Amino acid sequence: MLPMESNDTGLDYGRTSKMPVDLVIQGGTAITMVPGKQPIHNARVLIKKDRIIAIGPSSETPIPQGGSIETVDAKDAIIMPGLVNAHAHTAMTLFRGFADDLPLKEWLFERIFPAEANFLSPETVYRGALLGCIEMIASGTTCLADGYFFQDQTVRAVHESGLRGLVAQGIIDFPAPGVPDPKENIRMGQDFLEKWHHFSDRITPGLFCHSPVTCSAKTLRRSQKISQEFGVPLQIHLSETLTEVSEILEISGKRPAHYLDQLGLVNAHLIAAHGVHLDETELQCLHKNGAKLVHVPESNMKLASGIAPLDRITAIGLTTGLGTDGCASNNNLDLFGEMDTAAKLAKVSTRNPEALKAYRVLEMATLGGATALGLDKETGSLERGKKADIIVVDLKSPHLCPMFDPVSALVYSAGGADVKDVVVNGVPLMREKEFCSLDQDEIMAKVREISKRIHL
């Protein structure tokens, strides 16, 4: 018998009982990431079209009658929100392992920039972005924030993959792939926003200013103005290296965050990635103005850029997402590994094992990232009414036994390879480790073919 009023699972059966659901995920422990909510054991999630219509214990969440229902079996598994990769250059999978263990300037100016100039094209960006998308699906990411060039192609790849994302056109005051004349960069950014603004409810177009150093004050201000007109976030690399801090101090007399604030960029629509060398006044400035930060620990480690002060960032309460950066400086897109590293790096760098706890880092990789991207009304936690962006993490491998605490297991023991099912917008993108939306063999074959042409 179905109760007729709303219960504590949030399901109004009176309205939904006559409508069969489209997808049911059931049997495991649900970590909802709803603040204050305890894990739900033997959970059931009901999905109608693109949204969660109920989540609760299976015993209290009966499946409405009628119609045919697809079921995801989450027995011996964790049901959780899909991860949000809040800083990626997805198509850079093309350059995975192309240049490692090099000083930053040599890496960027002698390897990556020339490789991008020589080998990026609409075709290669499309293929690289598809590879990044399938890698993200495989490792449990359901939403990404991307910035790169030839971004029509990244939109195309993200669209085809079924992922959710903020896809931004790169803005830089140098000749760039697809933007040979930097005088055209703003106009092309504007065209990009116009073209994709109403394309899909899964894809938000945006702009990505490369950095305060590589974009002039005028470029930064114009990018901000256009982003505001379209009501979309503006991404930027901020305070990634000490060199950047010195250069901005030299040209403006201010530290990078204050410089951006002076230009009017520090507001609730700013997504600042890295933030390695932000001092206390800069953190306060970002927080006061509602700006968002994205922590990118593995890339900062690999390029030897430094360690962001996550203890202070957390204490201040700055909204923080977690990102992998591109595959040329990581070299994978596995946010499970990134969570583990983020927690451990914060502990050792502060000599405080409580500096960044497991739940907080899981929050960064889910609801924190969604909030950073302005998508927290839609994704980042498992709640009735939100989009059904859900992953199922298999617990059958030895490294996930025993299980004293599922959050600890997710952060410190699990890896992307433990993800077995991925649902975005109510649509399964991976079922029992089989991809539903993309052709893995074809994607990998095409990128291997392209990689044979990449050399310097």
Binding flag, residue 39, its own copies (CB under 8 A): no
- Binding its own copies (rule: CB under 8 A), the pick from 11, 40, 129, 131 is 131
Binding flag, residue 358, its own copies (CB under 8 A): yes
94 DSSP assignment: G
Binding flag, residue 456, its own copies (CB under 8 A): no
Binding flag, residue 28, its own copies (CB under 8 A): no
- Binding its own copies (rule: CB under 8 A), the pick from 13, 107, 149, 150 is 107
Nearer to its own copies, 282 or 418 (CB): 418
Strand-strand pairing, 164-171 and 141-148 = parallel
Near its own copies by CB under 8 A, which window of 263-271, 364-372, 379-387, 395-403? Answer: 395-403
- Binding its own copies (rule: CB under 8 A), the pick from 355, 362, 391, 392 is 355
Binding flag, residue 350, its own copies (CB under 8 A): yes
What does the block give as tokens for 306?
Answer: 């430094």
Binding flag, residue 263, its own copies (CB under 8 A): no
Provide, rounded to whole angstroms, the least separation between the CB of residue 345 and its own copies.
Answer: 6
Near its own copies by CB under 8 A, which window of 188-196, 214-222, 283-291, 298-306? Answer: 298-306
Alpha carbon distances (Å) from 392 to 69, 137, 256, 424, 427: 18, 12, 40, 12, 14
Residues from 66 through 105 that contact its own copies (CB under 8 A): 93-94, 96-98, 100-104
- Render 177-215 in DSSP notation, one character per residue: TTBSSGGGHHHHHHHHHHHHTTT-SSEEEEEEE--TTTS
Q: Which of 271, 238, 229, 270 is nearest to 144 (CA)?
A: 271
Nearer to its own copies, 34 or 444 (CB): 444
Collapsing DSSP states into helix, strand and coil, what is residue 386?
A: coil
Nearer to its own copies, 21 or 94 (CB): 94
Nearer to its own copies, 218 or 399 (CB): 399
C-beta atoms surrounding 347 within 10 Å: 17
Nearer to its own copies, 233 or 428 (CB): 428
Q: Distance between CA 196 and CA 204 in Å, rounded?
A: 8
CB 77 within 8 A of CB 420: yes
Binding flag, residue 453, its own copies (CB under 8 A): no
Binding flag, residue 444, its own copies (CB under 8 A): yes
- Binding its own copies (rule: CB under 8 A), the pick from 337, 431, 436, 437 is 337
Residues from 145 through 184 that contact its own copies (CB under 8 A): none
Strand-strand pairing, 83-88 and 77-81 = unpaired
Q: Which of 384, 392, 382, 388 is nearest to 54 (CA)?
A: 384
C-alpha distance across the termini of the chain, in Å: 69
Instruction: Give how far the C-alpha of residue 125 lies from the chain's centroid of Cα atoms, to the nearest Å.
Output: 19
Binding flag, residue 371, its own copies (CB under 8 A): no
